[in-house]
Chains A and B, each alone.
Chain A
Amino acid sequence: MHINQIFFENIRNHRQTKISFEPSLNIFFGPNGSGKTSILEAISIGTFSKSFVTKFDQNIVRNSTDYYALEISVERENHTPATIYVNYTIGKPKVIREENGQALTSQSLIGRFPTVILAPDMRGIIFGSPSFRREFVDRIIAQTDKVYLNKLYEFRRILKQRNKLLLEISKGNYVGFDLLHIWTQKLIETSVFIIKTRGNFVIKFAPIFEKCFTELTNSNEFASFFYSPFNNNEINAELLQANYSDEIINLHLRSEFEKNAKRELERGQTLFGPHRDDFTILLNNSTASCVASQGQSKSILVALKYAEINYLKNSKQTKPVVLLDDIFSELDLNRVNQVLNILNNLNLQLFITLTEIDLIKPILINFETYSLFKVENGIVSKLDLFHKSKV
């Protein structure tokens, strides 16, 4: 798929912006705060229902206005067009519609137009808290498996209810052990599904990632990706061995809940479950966050994203669109060159932002077609291309 056009109003510092895109490479440059990332945010909202910068839509609405609106036109692999409309007014739920006026939930939009995003804070996937890694994994599965996405929402709801009940019990407000037991059952049921799905995902994803890392680095080094739902490597290995069978996950979850029962009542909080899951990234058999140099960690991050692209490409009927935000803040010229070449060879539509256009000039010589946009104070203007003769 590729995005033909986007039109949006009141997103960050953009009043009204309308851009027609190249099906291959699209470059946005401008100083920090000029509004180039907002263009990628708008694409993310139109394809994934939310921004990758903030969870809160009110932060996106342009100052002194109270709504944003966008319209994104997409062409699918079979050349059928699709348009998605998103309207958000502060204090109201976001409304997503398709071209026939039919309202869509976020769940039904997510996955229709797969996107892969690389943004500056994503090194957190290697160095940050487990939540970065969970988000990385959940985003990929959510775009390929609707049932998983629904179960994830369900899980979060059950978790909130159970935590509230635990809190009430811990404060002595309420005695509801019979009810707590039922919430625990429900939580375990959905947890089994989530752990099973994440586990089976990693079984497929890890070899793709390993291959991508080798291809990118051309070295003797190797990286690997593991799922660690339990704080016990033996149990994690056992689950993998058993292909994440329901019974074994259930068994271990039950014993964790029994073990934590007393402490949960004291703390008023669910202490174990998929909301605390982690994934382990290894570099040459050591935890990457401990041993990776700056350069190595960049290669790992790029390999993760490259693997994400390949995974989505393989499991969906449609190729993902790739958004690379502030690409030179993360990658040096050689890596940018490498990444753009690989993605260009895959025939993917690419959107990249950078501060200095000069940085990328030497690379652009290799590209037949691309579009170049200058962004200033929320105003986007299309520039002429550099011709080989001009550089």
Chain B
Amino acid sequence: MKFSSKTIEEMIDILSTLPTIGRKSAQRLTLFLLRQPEEFIQKFSETLVKLKKDIKLCSLCFNFTETDPCPICSSPERNKELICVVEQPDDVLAIEKTNQYKGVYHVLHGAINHLDGISVSKLKISELLQRAKTAKEIIFALNPSVEGEVTIHYIVSLLKNYPIKLTRIARGLPIGIEIQYADDATLLNAIENRTEIK
């Protein structure tokens, strides 16, 4: 269906460019917004503008932040010689939720993906090489995809002459999954990446 208003159509076009939002959902959201009071729309649009204006990338780890460096990079509690490399800011949130990791992060903003036009220069790789000069260990926590694998492989090849420890997070059985219900690939990975009992 087509709306007679050009503005409504434009709004639907914009909203449907958002991830996981199809045209139908965009229509629903547009109609929802239309029914909201003036104050809500005011607040909504101000926040939207502020989001872009106030939030920037941390100049060290490239996570989203309002202050530069970000709270994690400027915290004296954090070990700056331990860098965990992730693909997206969401991954930082996920690891932070564990409350266990005491190092800092480096957000690449993706993984090498030629099909999606993500080349090496679009990722924060050269910045990572700079930081690696003063680090003792780099932990790779990229997604277990072929793109993630190749990105790790590529960065490791660039770091091969650095006096630094390179590690990656283990891939294995998720907690709570009984062995009989684990899928074969996960089980195989868990066996291949087994660790020694000391």
Write the residues of chain A forming the contact surface with B, with a CB cutoff of 8 angstroms: 91, 107-108, 146-147, 150, 154, 157-158, 160-161, 164-165, 168, 174, 176, 178-179, 182-183, 185-186
Contacts and interface: CB of A to CB of B under 8 A. Distances in A.
B193 interface: no
Contacts of A160: 115
Nearest to B121: A174
A179 B185 contact: no
B146 interface: yes
Nearest to B183: A108
A157 B146 CA distance: 7
Nearest to A166: B114
Nearest 10 A-B pairs (CB), nearest first? A146-B184, A164-B114, A150-B185, A165-B114, A182-B153, A157-B146, A158-B146, A161-B114, A164-B115, A147-B184
B39 to A, nearest CB: 36
B127 interface: no
Interface string B128-153: 00000000000000000111011001
A173 to B, nearest CB: 9
B146 A147 contact: no
A145 to B, nearest CB: 8
Main SS of chain A's interface residues? Answer: helix
A165 B112 CA distance: 11
B119 interface: yes
A159 to B, nearest CB: 10
B154 A147 contact: no
B113 A161 contact: yes
21 contacts: A107-B183, A107-B185, A146-B185, A147-B184, A147-B185, A147-B188, A150-B185, A158-B146, A160-B115, A161-B114, A161-B147, A161-B150, A164-B114, A176-B119, A178-B154, A179-B112, A179-B154, A182-B157, A186-B146, A186-B150, A186-B153
A86 to B, nearest CB: 19
Contacts of A168: 114
A202 B106 CA distance: 47
B146 A150 contact: no
B71 interface: no
A49 to B, nearest CB: 15
Contacts of B183: 107-108, 146
A195 B58 CA distance: 47
Nearest to A167: B114
Contact of A178 (B115, B119, B147, B157): B157
B163 interface: no
Interface in B134-184: 145-147, 149-150, 153-154, 157, 183-184
Contact of A154 (B113, B115, B146): B146
Nearest to B149: A186
B120 interface: yes
B131 to A, nearest CB: 21
A178 B150 CA distance: 11
A161 B188 contact: no
Contacts of A107: 183, 185
A174 B114 CA distance: 11
Nearest to A145: B184
Nearest to A165: B114
Contact of A176 (B120, B146, B185): B120
Given A91-B22, A178-B154, A150 B115 contact: no
Interface string B72-98: 000000000000000000000000000
Nearest to B119: A174
Contacts of B154: 178-179, 182
Contact of B146 (A146, A161, A174): A161
Interface string B106-124: 0000001111000110000
A236 B150 CA distance: 30
B184 A150 contact: yes
